[in-house]
Amino acid sequence: MKHLLSLEKMSHADMIAVLQSGAAFKHARATHAKPLAGQTWALIFSKSSTRTRVSFEVGIRELGGESLFLSAGDIQLGRGEPIKDTARVLGRMIHGAVIRTFAQSDVEDFANYSGVPTVNALTDDEHPCQVLTDIFTFEEKRGPIADQVVTFIGDGACNMPVSWIFAAAKLGFELRIAAPKNYQPAPEILRRAGGKVIVTEDLQAAAAGADLLYTDVWVSMGKEPESAQRLKELTGYQINAALLKLAKPGALVMHCLPAYRGKEIDEETFEAHAATIFDQAENRLHVQKAILNWLVA
Ligand code: CP
Ligand code: NVA
């Protein structure tokens, strides 16, 4: 039984297989095989979503399956039914699950108890589908990411940079994370991942010569009570024209979205790189179809 629970646990070979077949799913959108024919997949979401929800619902349909969207607040999970009981019930009825939640242990418990392929569609710890898509998008535009320099600016301790950290070691690129001290990744994560990851408060140094500048929201879902403090402490950790000048000429700018202009990125830079950013959003569909196909193969 295969699952996609984190990039930490995904092998290099599986990453390469998914990245390669993403291109095939993108280029043969109407004509590819239907590996989910006769299957029903549940999307169990405890947090908001636009891209992840729609790309999985459309992707499952295009692969021949049906999807069932279950907002955690509408099922007994939201009233305290344990995830392991929810998993054992759904596992008898569905063929796979895509879960967006808070605790990483919840997607792991669901995978263990349900007996069906389970996908992490974002937890507080990781967002593996997004980072696989980001790497696919980079490679589509620039070729292999190995030996390139990726710079993440902003909240360096949230799910996005953590998935980037595990990808860096496996795919052999240099990752620089520019974040204030309180928003840097835990040393334990850096130790577990290995690879070439530089963490600094100096965003200019981190951006110098980079092939890709990447950012994410300063206030992740679930962190809203810290909003005022985060907006104050992360001020300045922004992708803007001045920072981009330090990167390699022609460097890409990416954002996983949703974007908050004037916070982690300025309006001018966002709009100048909108073609890349919305290709990234579209590619969620193609890469996740590759992920689903890999899970059931
Ligand atoms: N990037 C991303 O996961 O977007 P959603 O929160 O809209 O799914
Ligand atoms: N770090 C963000 C990612 C949103 C796609 C969050 O968790 O809200």
CATH of the domain at 13: 3.40.50.1370
Rounded Cα gap, residues 183 and 171, in angstroms: 24
In whole numbers, what is the pLDDT of the chain averaged over residues?
A: 98
Rounded Cα gap, residues 119 and 2, in angstroms: 9
Do 94 and 17 fall into the same domain? Answer: yes
Q: Residue 212 is encoded by which pair of tokens? A: 């890709």
Position 291 confidence tier, pLDDT thresholds 50, 70, 90: very high
> Active-site residue among 3, 53, 284, 286?
284
What global pTM score does this model have?
0.98
Is 162 a residue whose pLDDT tops 90?
A: yes
Rounded Cα gap, residues 286 and 140, in angstroms: 12
pLDDT digits (tens, 9 = 90+) for 33-45: 999 999 999 999 9
Range of the domain at 245: 130-280
Position 32 confidence tier, pLDDT thresholds 50, 70, 90: confident
Residue 2 domain-assigned?
no
| Contact (CB, 8 A) for 90 and 42 | yes
Do 147 and 249 fall into the same domain? Answer: yes
Q: Which atom of ligand 2 is nearest to 49's Cα?
A: 5
Of 18, 5, 12, 4, nearest to 169 (Cα)? 12
Do 70 and 174 fall into the same domain? Answer: no
Do 106 and 147 fall into the same domain? Answer: no
Measured from CB, residues less than 6 Å from any atom of ligand 2 are 122, 127, 158-160, 216-217, 220-221, 256
pLDDT digits (tens, 9 = 90+) for 113-145: 999 999 999 999 999 999 999 999 999 999 999
- For this structure, is 3 an active site residue? no
pLDDT digits (tens, 9 = 90+) for 51-66: 999 999 999 999 999 9
- For this structure, is 100 an active site residue? yes
Nearest bound ligand to the CA of residue 130 = 1
- For this structure, is 284 an active site residue? yes
Number of domains the chain is built from: 2
Do 221 and 261 fall into the same domain? Answer: yes
Would you state the pLDDT for residue 31? 87
Would you state the pLDDT for residue 30? 82
| Residue from 220, 260, 265, 288 whose mutation best tests the ligand 2 pocket (most atoms within 8 A of CB) | 220
Do 113 and 201 fall into the same domain? Answer: no
